[in-house]
């Protein structure tokens, strides 16, 4: 990301909005916005596959592993406004487990890009299925979208829930129900 280009674009945006980019409160705004975007979109510079492969461990465990309530922050690709919420990830190992913090890191890598929630949910599930080769993977994301809260329909209490169920989480009602019960979302089944 070229921060100088971003700063020039933000300076021009301020002018287009009718502001004076040289007034005291806005002089450093282009720099701050460029820094913020570098942080908010850092997922583009990260490799989820590398994160997973660097933390795979042999295990004979075949019981469900769940990390729930992973905080996520993302940006809607349609309006470039934030959406935020929680991600719940579960899988049933088949010979390998991944370091627990890596599940949260994978969620962050995909969330810190311009996204739609549906794709985000699927990307997390798919990369785990492809690299852990578990019996199954379940991912549920619950989020509030500022593009729906601040503009448009202006619905403050709405949230979106998406799920991706692969392998045994898709094929077995019992496995899916166990996962949804353990994350506190029984009503999705």
Is 87 considered catalytic here? Answer: no
d(CA 168, CA 82): 33
Is 131 considered catalytic here? Answer: no
Is 12 considered catalytic here? Answer: no
Contact present, 9 and 19 (Cβ < 8 Å): no
Q: Which of 88, 117, 123, 142 is catalytic?
A: 117
Q: Which of 38, 49, 78, 118 is catalytic?
A: 78
Q: Which of 19, 31, 35, 79 is catalytic?
A: 79
Is 123 considered catalytic here? Answer: no
Q: Which of 49, 71, 77, 118 is catalytic?
A: 77
Q: Which of 7, 76, 87, 115 is catalytic?
A: 76
d(CA 178, CA 174): 6
175 has which bridge partners?
none
Is 76 considered catalytic here? Answer: yes
Is 145 considered catalytic here? Answer: yes
Write the secondary structure of 178-189 as one string of H (helix), E (strand) and C (coil): HHHHHCCCHHHC
Q: Which of 87, 88, 145, 178 is catalytic?
A: 145
d(CA 45, CA 23): 34
Q: Which residue has the tokens 């461990």?
A: 57
Q: Which of 19, 31, 35, 147 is catalytic?
A: 147
Contact present, 137 and 122 (Cβ < 8 Å): no
Other C-beta atoms lying within 10 Å of the C-beta of residue 106: 25
**Which residues does the annotation mark as catalytic?**
76-79, 117, 145, 147
């Amino acid at each position: 990301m070229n921060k100088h280009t971003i700063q020039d674009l933000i300076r021009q945006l301020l002018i287009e909005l009718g502001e004076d980019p040289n007034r005291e409160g806005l002089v450093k705004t282009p720099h701050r916005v460029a820094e913020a975007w570098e942080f908010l979109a850092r997922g583009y510079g990260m490799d989820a596959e590398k994160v997973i492969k660097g933390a795979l461990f042999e295990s004979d465990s075949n019981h469900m592993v769940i990390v729930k309530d992973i905080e996520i922050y993302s940006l809607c690709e349609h309006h470039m406004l934030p959406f935020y919420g929680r991600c719940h990830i579960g899988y049933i190992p088949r010979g390998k487990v991944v370091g627990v913090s890596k599940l949260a890191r994978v969620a962050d890598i995909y969330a810190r890009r311009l996204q739609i929630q549906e794709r985000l949910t699927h990307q997390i599930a798919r990369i785990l299925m492809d690299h852990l080769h578990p019996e199954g993977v379940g991912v549920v994301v619950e989020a509030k979208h500022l593009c729906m809260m601040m503009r448009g329909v202006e619905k403050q209490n709405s949230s979106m829930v998406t799920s991706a169920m692969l392998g045994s989480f898709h094929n077995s009602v019992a496995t899916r129900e166990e996962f949804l019960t353990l994350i506190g979302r029984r009503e999705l089944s």
